[in-house]
Structure 1
Amino acid sequence: MNSMKKDSPKEADDSNLVEEARKTLIGAKDWFLEDVALMTAYWHDKMGYTEAWVDANWHYVLDEGHELVDELDEKEDVALLWLINHANNNPVPLEECHVVGAEVEPGSYRCMSCGHDNVIETKQALAPCEICHYGLMSTHDEQINKTE
């Protein structure tokens, strides 16, 4: 009698699956590394082109750059305010919020904590709430602390 065991078909299938998985992973790794190399080369080419353009047009960049940066900063600020106001569902738009120490115009500034209206008579630095000493005020028309 032959006492040696033959490999079962299940073990052979399992080893084939492991080998196929190994090949797939090696292929995926190679594909990923090739893509990274292509992206890196593209980025270096793109940055090289940009640097060459800036070197050739540096006087234009210096002359126009400050205005462009200010314009972009203004657009980014508006976009950020819109995003924060809408994404967070803020009860008060941020552009209508004021913090202690900020220079404010005369008017009524509602405390964001207790809802007290702090009246400012002259242009001055905003002081904390007269009631609760909280440091965030609003000029927003709607009531902040509705109890309805």
Structure 2
Amino acid sequence: MNSMKKDPSKTEINTSLVEEARKTLIGAKDWLLEDVSLMTAYWHDKMGYTEAWVDANWHLVLDEGHELVEEFDDKEDAALLWLINHANNNPVPLEDCHVAGTMADAGTYHCMACGHDNVVETKQTLAPCEICHYGLMSTHESRAVSE
């Protein structure tokens, strides 16, 4: 009968490998926790500085913010209008479109549904189309709807 004996040198190697792995894991955990605490302190200081600057200069932020918001709104509106007109290949630019119920200057308004020319004599509220009662009109030079 063969008896299996444990090799004492193998047991020592396995024990030392387990101990090394344990030390490595403890070191990695400590390193990670240290890095997290450093990052937390950094962001706390950075945000504290930013918050203090905003508190100290709040009146400047409010005063200049209104102008910036208005300027940004104008640019955003122009960009959106351009995008809608060009990306959708609109036959009539949106700035030439008029909706029934809004104030309209005197002129000819082409119905976007049937193409009828609705003539407005004086500045007044734009009425729906006289023929089909559609509410979207155009003052665009070339007609979008074929008659």
Interval containing the TM-score (normalised by the shorter chain): 0.5 to 0.7
Structure 1 residue ranges (4+ consecutive) displaced by more than 6 angstroms after TM superposition: none
Q: Secondary structure at the match of 1:146?
A: coil
C-alpha displacement at 1:53, in angstroms? 4.1
Residue 112 of structure 2 corresponds to 112
Q: Show the counterpart of 1:138.
A: 138
Could you say if the C-alpha distance between residues 90 and 57 of structure 1 is closer, same or farther in structure 2, counting changes exceeding 3 Å?
Answer: same
SS of the residue 1:95 aligns to: helix
1:128 alignment counterpart: 128
Unpaired segments of 5 or more residues in structure 1?
Answer: 1-40
Does the residue aligned with 1:127 lie in a helix, a strand or coil? coil
Match of 1:82 in 2: 82
Deviation track 1:24-80 (CA, whole Å, cap 9, x = no partner) reads xxxxxxxxxxxxxxxxx8xx78x9476554323211122122221111101000000
- TM-score w.r.t. the length of structure 1 is 0.63
Q: 1:114 to 1:123 in 2, by over 3 A?
A: same
Tell me which residue corresponds to 1:91: 91
Once the two structures are superposed, residues 94-124 of structure 1 have per-residue CA deviations (whole angstroms, 9 ceiling, x without a partner) of: 1111111111111111100000111111111
Alpha-carbon shift at residue 144 of structure 1 (Å): 1.4
Distance 2:127 2:50 in 1: 49
In 2: Cα distance, 1:115 partner to 1:124 partner: 21
With over 3 angstroms needed to count, the CA separation of the structure-2 counterparts of 1:87 and 1:57, relative to structure 1, is same
Distance in 2 between residues matched to 1:105 and 1:69, nearest whole Å? 30
Secondary structure of the corresponding residue to residue 109 of structure 2 = strand
Report the Cα distance in structure 2 between the residues aligned to 1:89 and 1:81, rounded to whole angstroms. Answer: 12
Local SS of the residue matching 1:89: coil
Give the match for residue 68 of structure 1. 68
Q: Which residue of 2 aligns with 1:57?
A: 57
Q: Structure 2: 5+ residue runs without aligned partners?
A: 1-39
Provide the C-alpha distance between the structure 2 equivalents of 1:92 and 1:138, rounded to a whole number of angstroms: 7
Asked if the contact 2:115–2:146 (Cα under 8 Å) also holds between the matched residues in 1, the reply is no
